[in-house]
Structure formats: structure tokens, C-alpha cells
Structure 1
């Protein structure tokens, strides 16, 4: 965590940020957040993230007292004050202090600057393993702070050498716990469009790939895919070469996956310079 954050309506030392212990964010796990990266001190795809954050606030009935322009100004000041050349920024809006300890109230806005740790080069070169899990995130189109199941389940991933889980219900895949999911079959890129968070990295990868099919993907289809990968802000695009005990394709990152990752890196350079 970087030394300065936005809390209590001002930029302060991060260590001084506080939240009331009866805030719904703590006692009910009710709140929203969003997370984006900076490259060369510039926030990547900021307008897309602001779109999603403000929409999430409206959908969860949480009051966001700051305009987009005010949020841009705060973010710019935090980037400069933390000298955040390449890092992450986390916007959080808590559920607030509720009279009945249940209904959404006026939440508290935090914006934190963070260091980033990307997956290792080995994971990009060799791919990762996912574990299938029958589950759908509640209100999946909103980036809520409720990750209780994933956090609890993560201890099992480590023991089984997995990167994450792959959610599915009745044999139909939705997403990973923190990433969107894609497969490639006969050169065609395919991704689910239901019961998912509409990822910003997902959106930009789809633009780069062109002609992406958005449709239900069965777990069986994923196992029979030529390639698979997950996408997120902190992973960009990470090849998936194994689901449970089943090897995907050749068991190595495929050409479509490798090409998309390289093209996304080029896009980042274009935007940030």
C-alpha cells in the first residue's frame, strides 16, 4: 500500500484511514469497489472504470457524492503524490452506517494506491490450472466486496496447485472468481456473456480479437477447447492449460492466446505514451 490515500473527504496518510466498525461493509460485507492500473503515471481505461463504478453504486443503492470530474481530480492527485508510475488504484464505497444495520446507507469512499505483483513469467509461458466449482456470484454484474467464498476456498487452490476456480452452474460456465474466461476453438474466440462481471480488460481484448462469440460455454466445451485463458486488470491475459485434471489443447499456451497478449501490451504502450 502506498503512503497516501483518499478517505474522510481528503487525501491523507494511508495509515490514518478508518471505517466505523458497524459499517455495512464490515457487518454485512456490503460495498462495491473497482481496481485499475497506471502505466507511466497514466490510469489505463479510466473512463471505463468510472462508468462501472458509478453504475455499481447506483445498482447497489449507495450514494456516491463525488462527480466524475471530482473523482478524476482525486485520482490524478493520488497518482502524483504517490509517484505511481506503474501500480494499482482501488476505489471502494462502503455500505455505510444503517439505522437498522441492514439497509444500504450513505457509504464512505476510499481510494487507495497500491503496488502491483503480476503473475510470474512461468505462468504466462506455461499456463495455469483452474478448478471447476459449481457456483454463481451474487449480483455478478456488480463488483461487490463480497468475496467470502473465494477467499475461503483459496486455501484449497494452493494445495492443488491451481491459480483460481472456474464457476459453472448446471454445466454452464460463467467466470473465474476474479477474472473473465475465454476459450478458443478452431481459431474462434468465445466468451460467456451471462452471470459475469463485464470486465474492462475483457472488453478491450474483445475489441482487439474482433468477431468474438459471446454465448454460453459448457464445461465440456471448455475441456475440449484448443486454448483457454482468463483476463483481468492484474493478470491482463493468463493462459489456462488445465482444468481440474484435464489438459486443455496441447497443454501449452496457444497461438491465439499469445498473439492477443502481445497485442494488448502494444495497446498499453500506445495509450500510455
Structure 2
């Protein structure tokens, strides 16, 4: 792993920030996870823009601005010997931390056979801000892993579907694509899929209704598009990735991989 703190490359074992910082004491920091495709950073400008939206929501007033952060990120990435990388950016009031490592691609069977979800009650406190103080999504994800499934589907008190712990969710009925848009993080891959589809309707959906959807899939920075075949043991559609999802996966692959 390559680590840069405030523009300087540091040894992984010696990397750190002061224990008296607000980031350490109160989780007052925001972050982004970005990836490369064919050694090209995917929508870096959009990810950075969202990072600074998160910073504004958290009232960080960071020392590092957009332009300086962009420069440090690209310089740090240039030192990686790997073709495909995951880039983790953490922004505090005073510090900019960039971590670059070889990405661990999802297993092929996840794309071909699909993944399963488990429901988890609640929603993120600040859905538009990716902040380090958000322990709720961490607990939701851990619950999913303990249940032996890929992700946790967040269900609010009125039983509306919001998003997953670390992913956005879409569903398909009668050839129409839908996605939630209230109290969710506006994912960059989510936005890409909406653009690719050319016709995605944003609306709410209740838990019982999404179980009856013809197709469901997730979008996520590191994995792209992942088909969902079951939620809480309830089979979605035929129990296999649907044709609409497969086409979007193919279109997305052409966009990011050029094939």
C-alpha cells in the first residue's frame, strides 16, 4: 500500500495523525473510495466534488482545497505499480490522507450468479455525507456478513427501502428501471448507471414491494453492478440475474473497460 499524508509519502507502519485531532477523537473526517479501470481513475472529479460536499455538510472547512487534493491524489497514484487500484481518500480539517493499493476484484460468480441481501432496520444519520463517524453502516455490513450474505438492505421506520450499507440499489418492473432518491447517498456508479439507462425513475419503494420486483441490482464503486437474487431468503424474479441487469452490466463494462 502507498500512503500519502499531506502530500508526503510515508511508511505504512509509521503513518498516522495526532491522537488529539478531531478526526481521531470525534470522527470529524470525510472520505471517498475511488477505483481505476485500465489504470485510469473513474470519474475523479465527481468523487472529489462529493468529498467536498461531505466536508461542507460536516462543517470541516478543510485546509486542503479541491485543486491541491486532486494533484496529491494523481501524484500518489502514479507511484503504484499496479494496473487496477483502489484509492481511499480521507479529509480532515487539517490533513489529507491518500491510500492506494491493488484492488481486490469481486469473484466472477457474483456477477454471473448474483448476490443475496439481508434487511437491516434504520437509515444513515447523514446520508449525503461520507463521514468516519458513521458506525451504523459498518454494523449493518457486519450483520450481513454474519448472516452469510453480501450486503445489508437498509429499511427505514416506515418500511421504505433506502440503500445498502455500502451500495445503492435499483429494481426493474415491466422493463422500467427505478432507484431510490430520498435519504440516500448519491453514488457515482449509481449516477453512471442512470445515465447509461437513459430512463430511470426515482421513487420510493416499500420492503414488501421490492421483494416482488422482477430484477434487483446494486451499484458500488469497487464492484460496478452486482445482480441481487434474494432478499431475506425471498427469491427475486427467477432467482438469477435478469436480462435488463445483464444488458446494463454489458454497457457499463464497455464504458469502463472499453470492451
Q: Which of residues 196, 216, 225 in structure 2 aligns to 1:237? A: 225
The Cα of 1:166 is off from its aligned counterpart by 0.4
- In the alignment, is the contact (CA less than 8 A) between 2:80 and 2:101 conserved in 1? no
Q: In 2, are the aligned partners of 1:191 and 1:212 still within 8 Å (CA)? A: yes
| Stretches of structure 2 lacking an aligned partner (at least 5 in a row) | none
Per-residue deviation at 1:14? 3.2
Determine if the alignment matches structure 1 residue 137 to structure 2 residue 124: yes
Question: Contact between 1:62 and 1:107, CA under 8 Å: does it hold in 2?
Answer: no
What is the 5 A alignment of 1:149-188? 149-169=136-156, 170-188=158-176
Shift of 1:159: 3.8
Task: List runs of 5+ in structure 1 lacking aligned partners.
Answer: 95-105
* Displacement of 1:107: 3.6
Q: CA deviation at 1:237?
A: 0.6
Q: Does structure 2 conserve the Cα–Cα contact (< 8 Å) formed by 1:84 and 1:113?
A: no
What is the distance in 2 between the residues matched to 1:22 and 1:64?
17
Q: Does the 8 Å CA contact 2:115/2:149 hold for their aligned counterparts?
A: yes
Is 1:247 paired with 2:198?
A: no
Which whole-Å CA distance do the structure 1 matches of 2:11 and 2:61 have between them? 24
Give the match for residue 80 of structure 1: 78
Q: Does residue 265 in structure 1 map to residue 253 in structure 2? A: yes
CA distance in 2, matches of 1:113, 1:153: 26
Q: Summarize deviations over 1:131-169 as a string: whole Å, max 9, x none.
A: 111211011011112342333344442342211110111
Out of 78-87 and 20-29, give the one that drifted further.
20-29
What TM-score do the two structures reach when normalised by structure 1?
A: 0.89
Q: Distance in 2 between matches of 1:26 and 1:66?
A: 18
Cα offsets for 1:188-227 (capped at 9, x unmatched): 1100001100000000000001110001111122100000
1:89, 1:113 within 8 Å by CA — same for their partners in 2?
yes
Any idea what the Cα deviations from partners look like across 1:65-102, whole Å, max 9, x if unmatched? Answer: 233332222122112112342111111023xxxxxxxx
The residue number in structure 2 matching 1:103 is: none
| Alignment partners' CA distance in 2, 1:70 and 1:155 | 35
CA contact (8 A) 2:189 2:220 kept: yes
Q: 2:109 aligns with which of 115, 118, 122?
A: 122
Deviation at 1:50, TM superposition (A): 1.1
Runs of 4+ in 1 over 6 A off after TM superposition: none
Q: For this pair of structures, how many residues does the alignment match?
A: 258
Whole-angstrom distance in 2 between the partners of 1:110 and 1:185 = 42
Q: Deviations over 1:39-77 (max 9, x none)?
A: 232211011111101111122111222333322221221
Alignment of 1:24-173 (within 5 A): 24-94=22-92, 106-169=93-156, 170-173=158-161
User: What is the CA–CA distance in structure 1 between the aligned matches of 2:51 and 2:225, rounded to whole Å?
Assistant: 22
Describe the shift of the 1:129–1:113 C-alpha distance in structure 2 as closer, same or farther (beyond 3 A): same
TM-score by length of 2: 0.93
